[in-house]
Amino acid sequence: MGSKVRTITITDVAEKAGVSKSTVSQYLNKRYEYMGEETKERIAKSINELGYKPNLIGRSLKQKTSTTIGVIVANISHEFSTQIVKSIEDYCNASDFHIIVCNAEDDPKKEKKYIDMLRAKQIEGIIVFPTSTNINLYKELTEEDYPLVFIDRDVPEVDVSSIMLDNKKAAALAVEEFITKGYSNLGIVTNTTTNNVTPRIERVNGFIEALSVNGLEVNGDYIKSVGVDKINSELEKMMRLKMPPEAILAGNDLVLAEILKFVKHHQLKIPEDLAVIGIDDVSYASIYNPELTTVAQPTSDMGKEAAELLLNRIKGNHMERTNYYYEPTLMKRSSC
C-alpha cells in the first residue's frame, strides 16, 4: 500500500533543516564534534516533523557507531579478491576498524542480501566489487549519503568512486609480449561478460585494439567470454580449428587454471604448442613448469586506496566521484 507514497529522504531532512546532507548524516551517526546545539535541534525537529526513518533495517539512532565496514567481493575464489581483502584489512586494522567479508559469487540477488544484512548490523560503510545490475540499490545508498566505494568495476550511472586496473593496458602488454616473441595468431578467453563486468569487457576491448594497432587480424573464433564450466569445450573448438591460435591470453586467474588443465589433459607443451599469459599474478606462477608469464595488478595499493577512501567518507570528508586507474606490470617468465 505504501509503494506509491514518496519516501522521505535525507535530502528532504537537510533542506527542511537548512543544512547539508553530510551534516544530517553526521547527526545520524552521532558525530557531533563540530555541530552546534541549535543545528542538532533543527535536524531532530525536521526528522520528527517529516517522519524520516533512515533506510537501514532495524537501525536505532541511539546506537553507537560500529567501527566496522563491509567488503562484498564478487568471487572469493579469485586470488585478486583475497589479495585485495588482505590489503583492506591491513589498512582498517591500523585505523582501528574491523571488516566483515561477504562473497556474492557474481549474483546480484546475493549481493543485495548482503548489503541489507550489513546495513542492519550498523556497518558504517561498504567496499563492493559491484555486479553492475543493482543500480537502483546503489543509487539508494548514495541518496542516503551512505559511504560506498567500488573496486575492480565501474558503474557509470552511480555517483561512487571506483578503484580499477587499467584493463586495456593490461591486455595490450600481453599482446605486445606475444608479438615480441614472434606469435601472430592470438586468442583471449575470459569469464562471461553477462552483467557487464567491467574488467572482462575492457580486457577484451584492449586485446582487440592492441591487435589492430599492431596490424594483426582480429579472429572472432579466438575470442571467447564464457562461464568457467564452458571454457574447456571452447578451448576444444578453438584448438581443433584448421589454424588454431598460437597463443592465448587468460582474462583472469580462474581462466588461467582452466587453460592449464586443458593443456595438461591434452599433453600440450607450453610455450611450444601453446603460449600462455595470464592477467593476475597467481601465487604458483614462478613454481609452475614452465614459469608463467603474467600481468600483475598492484593489489596492495588498490586495497589500501579503497579502504582509505571509504574511511575518509565515513569521517565525513566528501570528495568528487573519481575513477582511480592503476598500472599493470608485465611479469616476464617462460610461458610465452
What pLDDT is stored for residue 131 in this prediction? 83
- DSSP, collapsed to helix, strand or coil, labels residue 203 as helix
Indicate whether 332 pLDDT > 80.
Answer: yes
Which pTM value belongs to this model?
Answer: 0.80
Other C-beta atoms closer than 10 Å to the C-beta of 109 total: 11
Instruction: Give the tens place of pLDDT for each residue, 297-318.
Output: 999 999 999 999 999 999 888 7
Residues 23 and 290: their CA atoms lie apart, in Å, by 58
Cα-Cα-Cα-Cα torsion 47, 48, 54, 58, nearest 10 degrees, comes to 160
Domain 167-296: CATH class, spelled out: alpha beta
What value does the mean pLDDT of the chain take? 92
Sequence ranges of the chain with CATH classification 3.40.50.2300: 68-164+299-327, 167-296
Q: Which fold has domain 2-50?
A: 434 Repressor (Amino-terminal Domain) (1.10.260)
Name the grid cell of 187: 586468442
Other C-beta atoms closer than 10 Å to the C-beta of 34 total: 9
Name the grid cell of 272: 611450444
237-265: average pLDDT: 97
Judge contact between 23 and 39, C-beta under 8 A.
yes
What pLDDT is stored for residue 30 in this prediction? 75
What pLDDT is stored for residue 84 in this prediction? 97
Task: Domain 68-164+299-327: give its CATH superfamily.
Answer: Response regulator (3.40.50.2300)
166 Cβ contact list (under 8 Å, min separation 6): 325, 326, 327, 328
Strand partners, 325: 164
Instruction: Give the tens place of pLDDT for each residue, 279-302.
Output: 999 999 999 999 999 999 999 999
75-99: average pLDDT: 95
Judge contact between 161 and 309, C-beta under 8 A.
yes
Instruction: Give the tens place of pLDDT for each residue, 155-209.
Output: 999 999 999 999 999 999 999 999 999 999 999 999 987 766 889 999 999 999 9
Other C-beta atoms closer than 10 Å to the C-beta of 264 total: 10
